[in-house]
Amino acid sequence: MSVDILETPIEYLKGVGPQRADLLKKEVGIFTFKDLLHLYPFRYIDRSKFYFVKDITEDLPYIQLKGYISNIQLHGGKRTTRMTARFSDSTGIIELIWFKGFKWLKDAFKPETEYIVFGKPNRFGPKYNIAHPEIEIVNPEAISQMSSMQPVYSSTEKLKAKGLDSRGISKLLGNLIPRIENHLQETLNEDIISQLKLLPRKETLINIHFPEEPHTLNKAIARLKFEELFFLQLSLLKTKTDREIKLKGYLFKDLGDSFHSFFNNNLPFELTNAQKKVLKEIRSDTLSGKQMNRLLQGDVGSGKTIVAVMTMLMALDNGFQACIMAPTEILAQQHYKSILKLLNGLNISIEILTGSTKQAERRRILGELISGKINILIGTHALIEEDVSFKNLGIVVIDEQHRFGVAQRAKLWEKTSNPPHVLVMTATPIPRTLAMTLYGDLDVSVIDELPPGRKAIKTIHQYDSARLKVFGFMKEQIKLGRQIYVVYPLIKESEKLDLKFLEDGYESIVREFPLPKYIVSIVHGKLKTADKEYEMQRFVKGESHIMVATTVIEVGIDVPNASVMIIESAERFGLSQLHQLRGRVGRGADQSYCILMTGNKLSNDAKQRIQAMVNSNDGFEIAEMDLKLRGPGDIQGTQQSGIVDLKIADIAKDEKILKFARDVARNILEKDPELSSDNNKTIAQTFKKIYKHKSRWSRIS
Ligand code: ADP
Ligand code: MG
């Protein structure tokens, strides 16, 4: 086999050499020709057009001017903080401004010399300026080469210092392309390319770096996005197909005593249509002979617990055990209590296992698990410890799955020789595109309907200065018999300070709401489990009026009588977290409120988040907004998914291409699950190449 020229180390490219090679590796992870080829521009700018100073407006993005530089001045006394210069053309004057690089720049410009200045104009009072412009001397050759689609590559300070700014990188690509263009092989099947009218690969890669004209550039971008998303979806769907082929699923053939007597005697309410629909989907999965891997998405309070319970009963009726894993001790305790209550009188053995289970108790539980005496085990991470084994685990329910890592989930998988069915529940609604990618190998069910009789939560934004008014409102609500949460942020980086805020906040609340008329609870992660539990219980039982807490109460806590959620420093929380917190109220029949307290000065982003909360109660809408504001990289769970490695496609923006790519991948796998047909040779090869290096975690979710 011939050596692949694309694997050539980058130092062998003309213009690179050992020093630059070193930087390229360290700074941007470019080791080979191929890596450089796949460093795509993140934007294209028009460098063919010149503006006049008089035509500048605030909303122009990047502009290019021709004129003279004079009046260079350093500001800030001994320690220069700023340098300015005057730029003029025949129509007016603007200021150029720098905040660093003075030493080098202050003597760099010659008078009476015409320069090209490029940058983004900012308005400052009645005048305009350009900060850190790109500047070069006018020369006819340079101007004739200026493209209307000049690629912009992201670079770093260190690379720039070695001449590898955007333009330097473009030059390297100019050296690279002629050397490799005849070695660029197709990565997609002929029929896909012709059916979808995609640009061939060689043309695509040349055009992405050196666009000929806008239409071709757009086609090149579209092809690369499609290709990237297609192989990602192919991998996810193949994981799913492989699993379906390889693994047998336990059959939950009969609905028996447990299920029926629960349904007839214990079910405390009529199921919503959405709950019924999901139960049907689960029923059909567990009858299919395939192993179920299903993600259940449902907004906070949509009633996922009852679905989990009825699913576990299906397992029990067929002689299997069931377990449910929750991310925190508090949540596990709560599940335990509510499930005990729900299944009261049904002669089902339910136990709880957490980190704080006493040794002797733990030994007893482990024994009864293996003997099969225990039917349902509820717990935390403690469930996945080595020595926990079941007699015949039929189904695993994982609650609030985003709290668990992939590896932790995989451990549960290993608990039986044949993997159990898996139902993963999340109350963090995930935008559809993200779900397709993050959970692309799972089946997805959605509960898109809240139980009847819930009033929409009213969300209000208040500045800190309105605190007295908020205290007044709290008193009114307590008079009406309601309970109130007051939540403070607690972030690792600022933990000490945050704890102090929380404690100060608690004190001021106790002062405003004194004993014996008012009882205030406090819960945070630093308290001992027993104290936490005691305080929680007081609130759950309605013995305290106000619960001051950190986000430990974020997940799952269910106190229907609590109808006011006050979130302190709301600007510091992410959107999905705000929505989660808000979901702690609105669980009973009373009108509920969420009050977002913020400082007076808010960043633009914070304003948008607060506004989104005030405007919408819909978790899916909020999630879409979150994705748009933050991008996929910051959303919980995405770090481990590989989608943050996407080079050109954008999950938030390329929804259409993503769906399309998924459909194409699905069609191919339906006909050829092993990708072994001649027709699919090219994509099979590409697929192997892409995923050769990536370790394939055994996923159960
Ligand atoms: P989540 O989806 O957030 O886990 P839960 O399962 O805790 O929601 O349910 C929230 C509340 O709604 C609980 O008090 C539960 O008893 C109640 N609930 C669930 N389903 C229904 C229903 N169909 N009708 C009325 N109340 C319901
Ligand atoms: Mg829940």
- Burial (0-12, 13-18, 19+ Cβ within 10 Å), 52: middle
Q: Give the domain ranges of the chain.
A: 1-45+156-182, 49-146, 257-288+303-426, 458-616
Domain 49-146 fold is OB fold (Dihydrolipoamide Acetyltransferase, E2P) (2.40.50)
When the candidates are 3.40.50.300, 3.40.50.150, 3.40.50.11440, 3.40.50.620, the CATH number that belongs to 458-616 is 3.40.50.300
User: For the chain, what is the largest distance between any 2 Cα atoms, rounded to a whole number of angstroms?
Assistant: 95
Mark 476-493 as b/e (b = at least 16 C-beta within 10 Å). Answer: ebbeeebbbbbbbbbeee
Q: What does pTM read for this prediction? A: 0.72
What pairing do the DSSP bridges indicate for beta strands 421-426 and 293-298? parallel
Sequence-ordered list of residues with C-beta below 8 angstroms from that of 68, at least 6 positions apart, any chain: 87, 88, 89, 111, 112, 113, 114, 115
From the CA of 329, how far away is ligand 1's center (Å)?
Answer: 20
pLDDT per position as a tens digit, 639-689: 444 555 788 998 878 989 999 999 999 999 999 999 999 999 999 999 998
According to the model, what pLDDT value does residue 652 have?
A: 78
Ligand 1 near 276 CB (within 6 A)? no
Pick the range with the lowest mean pLDDT from 16-20, 142-146, 442-446. Answer: 142-146
Q: Tokens for 179, please give them.
A: 């050397």
Q: Which stretch, 141-145, 232-236, 366-370, 418-422, has highest mean pLDDT? A: 366-370
Ligand having the closest approach to the CA of 298: 1
CA-CA distance, 104 to 108, in Å (whole number)?
A: 7
Sequence-ordered list of residues with C-beta below 8 angstroms from that of 213, at least 6 positions apart, any chain: 149
Which ligand 1 atom is nearest residue 302's CA? Answer: 2
According to the model, what pLDDT value does residue 77 have?
A: 83
pLDDT per position as a tens digit, 510-534: 999 999 999 999 988 788 878 888 8
Topology alike, domains 257-288+303-426 and 458-616: yes
Look at the alpha carbons of 223, 225, 227, 233 in this order and tell me if their dihedral is positive or negative.
Answer: negative
CA-CA distance, 311 to 201, in Å (whole number)?
A: 49
Q: Is the pLDDT of residue 555 over 80?
A: no
According to the model, what pLDDT value does residue 404 have?
A: 55
Residue 150 CB neighbour total at 10 angstroms: 20
Cβ contact 58:49 at 8 Å: no
According to the model, what pLDDT value does residue 209 have?
A: 96
Pick the range with the lowest mean pLDDT from 105-114, 171-180, 508-517. Answer: 105-114
Cβ contact 348:362 at 8 Å: no
What secondary structure letter does DSSP report for 59? T
Q: Is the pLDDT of residue 363 over 90?
A: yes
From the CA of 587, how far away is ligand 1's center (Å)?
Answer: 8
Higher-confidence residue: 177 or 693?
A: 177
Q: Is the pLDDT of residue 701 over 50?
A: no
Ligand having the closest approach to the CA of 447: 1
CA-CA distance, 691 to 547, in Å (whole number)?
A: 49
Ligand having the closest approach to the CA of 302: 1
pLDDT per position as a tens digit, 562-590: 999 999 999 999 888 899 899 889 888 88
Q: Is the peptide bond before 151 cis (omega within 30 degrees of 0)?
A: no
Cβ contact 332:320 at 8 Å: no
Ligand having the closest approach to the CA of 556: 2
Q: Is the pLDDT of residue 405 over 60?
A: no
CA-CA distance, 563 to 485, in Å (whole number)?
A: 8
Mutating to test ligand 1, I would choose from 299, 324, 558, 617 the residue with most ligand atoms within 8 A of its C-beta, which is 558
From the CA of 269, how far away is ligand 2's center (Å)?
Answer: 17
Ligand 1 near 279 CB (within 6 A)? no
Strands (E), 299-399: 321-325, 350-353, 376-379, 393-398
Phi, psi of 54 (to 5 degrees): -65, -20
Ligand 1 near 325 CB (within 6 A)? no
CA-CA distance, 58 to 122, in Å (whole number)?
A: 6
From the CA of 302, how far away is ligand 1's center (Å)?
Answer: 6
When the candidates are 3.30.70.20, 3.10.129.10, 3.40.50.300, 3.40.50.2300, the CATH number that belongs to 257-288+303-426 is 3.40.50.300
The owner of tokens 């080469």 is 145
Q: Tokens for 459, please give them.
A: 């969300």
Cβ contact 183:5 at 8 Å: yes
Higher-confidence residue: 428 or 99?
A: 99
From the CA of 556, how far away is ligand 2's center (Å)?
Answer: 5
Cβ contact 367:376 at 8 Å: no
Q: Tokens for 133, please give them.
A: 């412009």
Strands (E), 457-507: 458-463, 483-487
Cβ contact 146:49 at 8 Å: no
